[in-house]
Amino acid sequence: MRIQGYETSIQTSPQVGEEMRFWRKPLDFDKHKIPKGKVIVIAERCKACGFCYEFCPKDMLEESDQRNKKGYKLPKIKEGMEDDCIACRHCEDICPEFGIYIEEIEEEGEDEEKEKKEKEEE
């Protein structure tokens, strides 16, 4: 509903031209970087249910041969996909064992880049 109202106000406002509407979106879009995540498994909690590797949207996890003390096979990151995690936290949310979680990685130089861009805009 709120979004609808916003659109109407732009359309009816004489100051805002057609181009502006199309021009603003991509600029905003650039600013939103896709976040990156580090996958952490608390080995002794895992019960090898397989939810995390079955439902990761990036399909970057799989069952490994490494077992925890109780004999459950732990999940691992697929080879070559170490940097693929988008920190969506779906694995964290659907692990019934509180056994996997994500640490979001701050990318180096991200802030500087942002600042630069903002200056250019001005």
**Residue 21's binding partner, choosing from another protein, ligand SF4, none, with beta-carbon cut-off 5 to 8 A by kind?**
none
**What is the rounded distance in angstroms from the CA atom of residue 42 to the CA atom of residue 99?**
5
Which partner, ligand SF4, another protein, none, binds residue 81 by CB below 5 to 8 Å per kind? none
Residues 90, 8: Cα–Cα separation, whole Å: 35
Kindly state whether residue 47 participates in binding ligand SF4, applying the rule CB under 6 A. Answer: yes
Q: Which residue has the tokens 């004999």?
A: 71
Residue 122 CA to residue 117 CA, distance in Å, equals 9
Tokens of 33: 């970087």
Spell out, one character per residue from 63 to 82, where the chain touches ligand SF4: x when CB under 6 A holds, - when not: ------------x-------
Nearer to ligand SF4 (CB atom), residue 64 or residue 113: 64
Interaction of residue 49 with another protein, rule CB under 8 A:
yes
